[in-house]
Structure 1
């Protein structure tokens, strides 16, 4: 079913050309291998529907769908994929979306098309100073201008399909001057693998080792776009955590995602209230994820509407019973008890 609403800010034309059902989207993952049982890392790529079967270039829209599909709907981060490599073009890098990929989650992968300009260099430096990691993809020569970012890079990917054999050692020597780990990427030939091993490379990625594996995760219930817009606006304005939590509580599908984001980004104790959940997320990360969700959420379908209505009704009735029974000594205790039910109703496990 196509959306009946007018297009929202930040929504690309591509969204209007594809059937807005989250089940038609998929993602692919390809491991970075070092010989261990578990991969050192996993590169993620967005895919359109199986019917279209193509990989779009990185863009804010495609990256938002990828992050939402893989990390929230697919729960990939809980399957021990190692460092996640997620490609971002210059527009995405300069947007709040880049704030989502904190250092502990993965690395922002910069493709060949990202220009070495003042704005991009400043953004890389700012995020690097906050602990974010970067990977440089598509390197084929030691004089690649993007290697000026080498002091801020954690990974450099040598594109074996583009780089001549004579340039491999020179790229390796250039990378040794910085802190980055060199990865041999786009491997398709056994001979290339043996030559690179002889040079001392440890990490490899490509069709030779494992082709990209596609996944189409079962989607979470859709968020309410109006609630998302209000919450995004309040977060950008620096509203108190209590106001953010009160707004988010109106949409159970949004609460699911906030609970998952708490698990992704806040490794402390289980939150007692929705306010605690929101407060535990760094402000740039919260704003970045709300930006992602605005582009990756479509209008509520009948199933999502029915589920959301049922959850809200249970919460309302439970709150009324607690107030009527006078079992809570304070408003804080009441909110904690209500949130405990909310958390159980909106857990990922409750939906499977």
Structure 2
């Protein structure tokens, strides 16, 4: 049997076996600059997490789900890098609930050059636009782009300076000006092109000339329980009450972490919710379903250390609730749930998985 006696570094063998090195996420972002101190925003790009280098990205719904989950939840990008996030989506992703995640306050759905102009896609863009979502028309090389019918719904037009002839730059700029969209000179690689576009009045730029894509590798949050996630997703799709959804979600602390982070994304600077049901209620129904769809797409089976962490949190909550009831310090069920959720919120903060906070002390005879 192996000894658990501390080594010279103060780390026991048992701890190394139970608590391996944290798994990291991986994505990239390239800034969109407009001459101000803070960039206008950043375009997010998928990166494979590990293994041998792979050039081709996976199917877009999976790639987009992983990208959104790792950048906004694992990476906490909106807290560190405010601004508009540009996330490219193909037709399948755009027609799925994934597109509902990128609300207007978070970023813009980037429509690629090869996205077909079909009735279902046009209808979907119009519906999202009516609800306040923003779009960026990417890869524009001429004013005869087949996606011109979508221009009135576009907040940004990205001119591909690497492929578009110089004679098309001014017409594309005029086209963007007519619909009130912001023109972004994309794929900028030559200083002469930057000076020419600057002289034409272009103020927003993106490309390797100004800033290379920045690679990010944040530590990943504990993985969600697939079964609990599936039950919560079905309840949300069926329009179940918020307290029913919250009750199902409490079985998985890793999901609670993400719901709390989504509340901060949706209500930046707002007061912390008093209960998990309030947290769920703060998320628009379509946005909640979209995020649960994203998590189901990007979540894998729980690792042993995640299972241990989740079990420890559940035991703390059960014991704390029992102590509150035994001490009779709560005058109503609502006060009891509020106190329990306050502890849950502390336990589900972005602390390392092995650093579970101590149980708070109860007043009086407790």
TM score, norm. by length of structure 2: 0.88
Range with greater deviation from structure 2 (264-273 or 306-315):
264-273
Large movers: runs of 4+ above 6 Å: none
Task: String of CA shifts for 1:26-84, please: whole Å, max 9, x gaps.
Answer: 11000001111110110000111353153626610000000000000000111134100
Give the match for residue 122 of structure 1: 123
In 1: Cα distance, 2:160 partner to 2:245 partner:
45
Partner of 1:104: 105
Gaps of 5+ in 2: 1-20, 356-366
Distance 2:106 2:194 in 1: 28
Please give the residue correspondences for 1:1-352 in structure 2 after superposition, counting only pairs within 5 Å: 23=23, 25-49=25-49, 51-54=52-55, 56=57, 59-267=60-268, 268-349=270-351
Cα distance in 2 between the residues matched to 1:303 and 1:120: 42
Distance 1:164 1:332 in 2: 65
Summarize deviations over 1:136-194 as a string: whole Å, max 9, x none.
Answer: 10000101011211111100000001100111111111111102100000000111111
Aligned to 2:15: none
| Aligned equivalents of 1:320, 1:186: Cα separation in 2 | 60
**Alpha-carbon contact 2:189-2:208 (below 8 Å) kept:** yes
Partner of 1:15: none
Contact 1:24 1:48 (8 Å CA) reproduced: no
Aligned length: 332
Q: Secondary structure at the match of 1:207?
A: coil
Question: Mean alpha-carbon deviation: is it higher for 25-34 or for 69-78?
Answer: 25-34
Partner residue of 2:5? none
Ranges in structure 1 where 5+ consecutive residues have no aligned partner? 1-20
Name whichever of 261-270 and 128-137 sits farther off.
261-270
Structure with greater Cα Rg: 2
- The Cα of 1:269 is off from its aligned counterpart by 2.0
Q: How far does residue 22 in structure 1 lie from its aligned partner after superposition?
A: 9.6
**Contact residue 48 and residue 55 of structure 1 kept, 8 A:** no
**CA distance in structure 2 between the partners assigned to 1:22 and 1:292 by the alignment:** 22
Partner SS for 2:147? helix
| Distance of 1:57 and 1:315 partners within structure 2 | 39
Distance (whole Å) between structure 1 residues aligned to residue 238 and residue 257 of structure 2: 23
C-alpha distance in structure 1 between counterparts of 2:295 and 2:58, whole Å:
20
Contact 1:106–1:133 (8 Å) recurs in 2: yes
Q: Please, what is the CA RMSD of the aligned residues?
A: 1.6
- Cα 1:115–1:147 change in 2 (3 A) is same
SS of 1:342's partner is: helix
Partners of 1:220 and 1:49 lie apart in 2 by 14
> When the two structures are superposed, what TM-score results if normalisation uses the length of structure 1?
0.91
